Structure 1
Amino acid sequence: MTVRPVFDATASAGGKNLGDLPEWDLSDLYPAPDAPEVKRDLDWLEDACARFAADYEGKLGTLDAAGFLEMIRRHEKIEAIGGRIMSYAGLRYYQLTVDAERAKFLSDCQEKITNYTTPLVFFTLELNRLDDELLDGLFAADPELGRYKPAFDRIRAMKPHQLSDEMEHFLHDMGVVGDAWERLFDETIAGLTFEVDGEEMSIESTLNLLTEQDRSKREAAAHELARVFGENIKTFARVHNTQAKEKEVMDRWRKMPSAQHARHLSNDVEPEVVEALRNAVVAAYPRLSHRYYELKRKWLGLDRMQVWDRNAPLPMESDRIVGWDEAEKVVMEAYAGFDPRMAEIAEPFFNKGWIDAAAKPGKAPGAFAHPTVTDAHPYVLLNYLGKPRDVMTLAHELGHGVHQVLAAGQGEMLASTPLTLAETASVFGEMLTFRAMLAKAKDQKERKVMLAGKVEDMINTVVRQIAFYDFECKLHEARRGGELTPEDINVLWMSVQAQSLGEAFDFMPGYETFWAYIPHFVHSPFYVYAYAFGDGLVNALYAEYEANPDGFQDKYFDMLKAGGSKHHKALLEPFGLDATDPKFWDKGLSMIEGFIDELEAMED
């Protein structure tokens, strides 16, 4: 997220001509890291935080509704300025994580903002000491103030887990230390190099080879990934041990009932709902992944599948590369087909420098949509290599972007959605794109390839992410018993692989280290179940759209515009859906089963 060096998109995509790939223009945030606007905003932030504390510390209980609303607006302005600085620094860094200047700029901004915002630590602490009756009375007295009640309800959910003021200040200041371990992980991953068939490659390009038609190339990539992960496994184990121990200490002091509980609180979701989701998916493994991979084993003509066959294209699948212009057209047509407003919101991402698409050395792997702040706009990062799955990734991240644009009207405190709901628009965008492409399939063979690809994506989103969640649960539980060796972590990883993938697979030596590269485990513990939650929710939503299309679009846009202002139960109520109903998850899983049924019927 940065200045604009000119990259050779053709070379970065392994010699495949993908067209002109867009790059970020971060000038909507700041012109440059040394621009006077950066210093101006840092200086303003330092002063604003000090004045906020001077005006409000020890006085929250004395404010009337008008005073409380004014305080919220000042707090939101502080969040907006601090968020703008950190978005700019973070985006620059992720665009080239191996650049020392960018890493230093990010680190310096983090430290300054941590120091400047330390006086604000009193805010949530004092807030959680106020009586419920006092706050309820304030929210009832002014409709504009009452709009913020959901945000304060979420803050007050942490009330039982709050520590002393002095301890909370200490933990706030120590936050940069945990961030340093995350940066070590990021820089280690970005700095890894792999050699396949004499060509030096980044991790993103090497992982991409696992979807090649040529099985020998997939096998070579899998072994090279295992070799490099193995050489660096001590570093990855150290990061995981430290992060898990830090979390265990924090959870113990905060009296969290489980390692997952803090994530459930931040997601505004009940633990029993997540448990129902997890149990429904695990119970469905035989009907979903086991059944599908047995089909795929036959299609590939194999007695046994290896891990490098999991995401292999089907034999009848072409090696066609999708250029960037075609990918944009496919996604935009699908969005417009659902509602022209959706395409209208998505358009600036393509023509205003809101997407950084090319896979480049040193760039962060994977893909994301970052909302920045509500008076700016989101940015999307991709590593686009022209695979059909990359088109779906574009549809996914663009869905996040549309959601973030629509929710921005809620303001800083209410725009951000819990992770469980943050995947709604992204997965829905994928589904729209898939359905549009499926409708244009020219024959049964093409339909089969597309259905199989979608099933694999859904298995990766639902089955695989719940297996990841189980791995994390086991990892954090085991870490409570002491330091874990790399071999200990390897065993935990393998314990969920056979269970989730089924009998069709053998596992090559070295695959036990593949936990090492997954960033969610380090950056956002227990994030992964949100993908399965989002997929299940969207499958149920899409079924409702097909059954009752009249007026659906307006209800859908209202849901996205709500941002984080409503609980999942209230958001789904207009659609007649309820995620607290255990049978809810079976609706979503039945859509995947239906696709597999259709694939099996094609075998007859």
Structure 2
Amino acid sequence: MFQLPFPVRDANAAGGDKPLGNLPEWNLDDLYTGEDAPELKRDLDWLEEACASFAHDFENNLASLDAEGLLDCILRQEKINQIAGRIMSYAGLRYYQQTTDGGRAKFMSDVQEKITNFTTPLVFFTLELNRLDDDHLSKLMHQNADLARYEPVFDRIRAMKPYQLSDEMEKFLHDLGVVGDAWERLFDETIAGLEFNVQGDELTIEGTLNLLTDPDRDTRQAAAEELADVFGKNIKTFARVHNTQTKEKEIMDRWREMPTAQTGRHLSNHVEPEVVEALRTAVVNAYPKLSHRYYELKRKWLGLDRMQVWDRNAPLPLEDPKPVPWEAAEKTVMDAYNAFDPRMGEIAAPFFTKGWIDAPVKPGKAPGAFAHPTVTNVHPYVMLNYLGKPRDVMTLAHELGHGVHQVLAADQGEMLSSTPLTLAETASVFGEMLTFRKMLDGAKTNAQRKVLLAGKVEDMINTVVRQIAFYDFECKLHAARRSGELTPEDIGELWMSVQGESLGPAFDFMNGYEHFWAYIPHFVHSPFYVYAYAFGDGLVNALYSVYAEGAEGFEDKYFDMLRAGGSKHHKELLAPFGLDASDPAFWDKGLAMISGFIDELEAMED
């Protein structure tokens, strides 16, 4: 199914009426040329027949296959995944370009139903694979090197073995998936359809969130109050979506006998719960020396007695308010990528010239930014909502990093290219760091350096502190839902319980801020997704430290890591760099980089 990656930070950009240059838009022809494209019909027909013949040839037969037979089974499954992924990528990307278009929504829904129906007979594959004896599967892999290549796939599938239900129940849940997805669509369409009036201007959610970075405090306040008002008027819908999605997950987890609500995410991320807990503990313990300390500095810079939530992403008084034209953003990012290694620039270049980026803000377009890998025989597509803020340049660097990673991993094939979320943020955050360092090196004055450092610290706080606070909110939300239906007020109280702790004593919280959980897409689409951002940032900070120290052969090792896709565990991928995420001190090393930037900002005050 089409899975939408979501942005690492809130939308942060200025109003859309500034000259930004020629913003690129997607050309989806590399997938299909239209809903009525003969190739699309051909692929749907092929998929229906391929799924039926796969089930006919292999159901109740996996245990009797020899090594070559099991390899044939895997390759056929991989081809099915590729065709289904291509179709759903096309339908999904068109939909997210204009979520309020009824025709696009219907097309995606119809295609999704067809693919769900076609692929239901394939549910047996993982169930039967998990019934194979460990020794038997190991023997088959030992006999055939091409089959052994898929061992990481087998490991991930078989990690679900203790939580597997009956064949009939698994097929039922597979069929039911399209119903659960309807709640996600309701959320997307509600968010995209919201209208905001700020100081006489009619805006989408993207444009309104962008005003939270406006230099004028009255404008920021007006935007925040309008967000709170509109969220409040729609809060029952958002609470219904969250209650239903969370209850559905609780039922699934209970039937599967998963020990925690987070277990499924940890399994899909191929990461140990204790590693995530070590990350979470390290970040929470660091709140005072990170976010609390930084926002106290920012309070002084802004000349305020107290900070309000609309000041969190305010520009510094000495920040240049001029928007960054698209061509300048492209040059900044490409220069940084090429300076690291020309191979990275070579991979990134086609995104700008071949219709692989959709940059403008448009009515009905999904908010935020993402990079979708599509399938391994096409290429990724990047979505932005570019409005010319320096943070938008960083978002471009971030999403382009995903794109480079996805291109490099494509040679692994459909089953091995997909990277667990914890590692999927590596290239994106590293791309941001390269761009930031390039801009910092080019700073001509202390004021420019201060603005860049402050911007990077804020991005890191949004990536690490804010996302771990989100994770704690989700943990509390899912735990509370097990005791019964949650009112909007109940959910608001859980939200506020993590906000004060993470942002610190410099802040007051306006009435209505208790509704701001409503617009975060991760909570609906991908429960517990958010800690992957903090994981990725901490990992990259440690990784960049190795690079900055001049480690020999770093670039080649880095490209090898990206090419590996999902074929290796995080321990194996980080070993060539002398790093180990299971070591609690690993996270302190990453957090120390953020703290060091704040040290430098404090020193500028003297």
TM-score of the alignment, normalized to the shorter chain, above 0.5: yes
Residue ranges of structure 1 left out of the alignment (5+ in a row): 2-11
In the alignment, structure 1 residue 567 sits paired with structure 2 residue 564: no
Equivalent-residue separation in structure 2 for 1:215 and 1:138 (angstroms): 66
User: 1:356 — aligned with what?
Assistant: 358
User: 1:275 — aligned with what?
Assistant: 277
Secondary structure of the equivalent of 1:530? helix
Which of 183, 186, 193 is the aligned partner of 1:184? 186
User: 1:490 — aligned with what?
Assistant: 492
Equivalences for 1:359-370 in 2 at 5 Å?
359-370=361-372
User: 1:518 — aligned with what?
Assistant: 520
Equivalent-residue separation in structure 2 for 1:506 and 1:323 (angstroms): 35
User: 1:441 — aligned with what?
Assistant: 443
User: 2:476 — aligned with what?
Assistant: 474
Which of 145, 148, 151 is the aligned partner of 2:150? 148
* Aligned-pair CA distance for 1:13: 5.5
Secondary structure of the equivalent of 1:375? coil
* Aligned-pair CA distance for 1:62: 1.1
User: 1:79 — aligned with what?
Assistant: 81
Equivalent-residue separation in structure 1 for 2:180 and 2:350 (angstroms): 35
Q: Work out whether residues 404 and 427 of structure 2, in 8 Å CA contact, stay in contact via their aligned partners in 1.
A: yes
Which of 107, 110, 113 is the aligned partner of 2:112? 110
Which of 345, 362, 369 is the aligned partner of 2:347? 345
Equivalent-residue separation in structure 1 for 2:139 and 2:292 (angstroms): 55
Q: Which amino acid aligns with 1:132?
A: D
In the alignment, structure 1 residue 320 sits paired with structure 2 residue 322: yes
Equivalences for 1:93-132 in 2 at 5 Å?
93-132=95-134
Alignment root-mean-square deviation, CA: 0.9
Equivalences for 1:384-463 in 2 at 5 Å?
384-463=386-465
Secondary structure of the equivalent of 1:364? coil
* Aligned-pair CA distance for 1:136: 0.7
Secondary structure of the equivalent of 1:372? coil
In the alignment, structure 1 residue 243 sits paired with structure 2 residue 251: no
Equivalent-residue separation in structure 2 for 1:345 and 1:182 (angstroms): 33
User: 2:529 — aligned with what?
Assistant: 527
Equivalent-residue separation in structure 2 for 1:325 and 1:297 (angstroms): 34
User: 2:8 — aligned with what?
Assistant: none
Q: Which amino acid aligns with 1:257?
A: P
Cα deviation per residue 1:437-465 (whole Å; 9 max; x = unaligned)? 00000100100000000000000000000
Equivalent-residue separation in structure 2 for 1:320 and 1:334 (angstroms): 21
Q: Which amino acid aligns with 1:297?
A: R
Q: Work out whether residues 13 and 359 of structure 1, in 8 Å CA contact, stay in contact via their aligned partners in 2.
A: no
Residue ranges of structure 2 left out of the alignment (5+ in a row): 3-13
* Aligned-pair CA distance for 1:583: 0.6
Q: Which amino acid aligns with 1:147?
A: R
Equivalent-residue separation in structure 2 for 1:181 and 1:423 (angstroms): 27
Secondary structure of the equivalent of 1:369? strand
Secondary structure of the equivalent of 2:517? helix
Cα deviation per residue 1:170-227 (whole Å; 9 max; x = unaligned)? 0000000110000000000000010011010000010000001011000000000000
Q: Percent identity?
A: 78
User: 1:552 — aligned with what?
Assistant: 554
Secondary structure of the equivalent of 1:384? coil
* Aligned-pair CA distance for 1:549: 3.4
Equivalences for 1:178-327 in 2 at 5 Å?
178-327=180-329
Q: Work out whether residues 292 and 596 of structure 1, in 8 Å CA contact, stay in contact via their aligned partners in 2.
A: yes
* Aligned-pair CA distance for 1:64: 1.2
Q: Work out whether residues 378 and 405 of structure 1, in 8 Å CA contact, stay in contact via their aligned partners in 2.
A: yes
* Aligned-pair CA distance for 1:492: 0.2
User: 1:26 — aligned with what?
Assistant: 28
Q: Which amino acid aligns with 1:158?
A: M
User: 1:67 — aligned with what?
Assistant: 69
Q: Work out whether residues 13 and 358 of structure 1, in 8 Å CA contact, stay in contact via their aligned partners in 2.
A: no
Q: Which amino acid aligns with 1:411?
A: G
Equivalent-residue separation in structure 2 for 1:466 and 1:178 (angstroms): 26
Cα deviation per residue 1:400-445 (whole Å; 9 max; x = unaligned)? 0000000000000000000000000000000000000000001001
Q: Work out whether residues 277 and 533 of structure 1, in 8 Å CA contact, stay in contact via their aligned partners in 2.
A: yes
Equivalent-residue separation in structure 2 for 1:14 and 1:76 (angstroms): 43
The structure 1 segments of at least 4 consecutive aligned residues displaced by more than 4 Å after TM superposition are none
Equivalent-residue separation in structure 1 for 2:78 and 2:106 (angstroms): 27
User: 2:7 — aligned with what?
Assistant: none
TM norm structure 2: 0.97
Secondary structure of the equivalent of 1:433? helix
Q: Work out whether residues 15 and 211 of structure 2, in 8 Å CA contact, stay in contact via their aligned partners in 1.
A: no
Q: Which amino acid aligns with 2:387?
A: L
Cα deviation per residue 1:237-273 (whole Å; 9 max; x = unaligned)? 0000000000000000000000001000000000000
In the alignment, structure 1 residue 583 sits paired with structure 2 residue 604: no
Q: Work out whether residues 467 and 533 of structure 2, in 8 Å CA contact, stay in contact via their aligned partners in 1.
A: yes
TM norm structure 1: 0.98
* Aligned-pair CA distance for 1:14: 2.4
Equivalent-residue separation in structure 2 for 1:47 and 1:144 (angstroms): 26
Q: Work out whether residues 16 and 361 of structure 2, in 8 Å CA contact, stay in contact via their aligned partners in 1.
A: no
Secondary structure of the equivalent of 1:266? helix
Which of 316, 321, 331 is the aligned partner of 1:329? 331
* Aligned-pair CA distance for 1:149: 0.2
Residues 13 and 354 (structure 1), Cα distance of their counterparts in 2 relative to 1, 3 Å cut: farther
Equivalent-residue separation in structure 2 for 1:48 and 1:315 (angstroms): 61
Equivalent-residue separation in structure 2 for 1:481 and 1:565 (angstroms): 40
Q: Work out whether residues 490 and 512 of structure 1, in 8 Å CA contact, stay in contact via their aligned partners in 2.
A: yes
Q: Work out whether residues 471 and 493 of structure 1, in 8 Å CA contact, stay in contact via their aligned partners in 2.
A: yes
User: 1:45 — aligned with what?
Assistant: 47
Equivalent-residue separation in structure 2 for 1:383 and 1:549 (angstroms): 36
Q: Which amino acid aligns with 1:276?
A: A
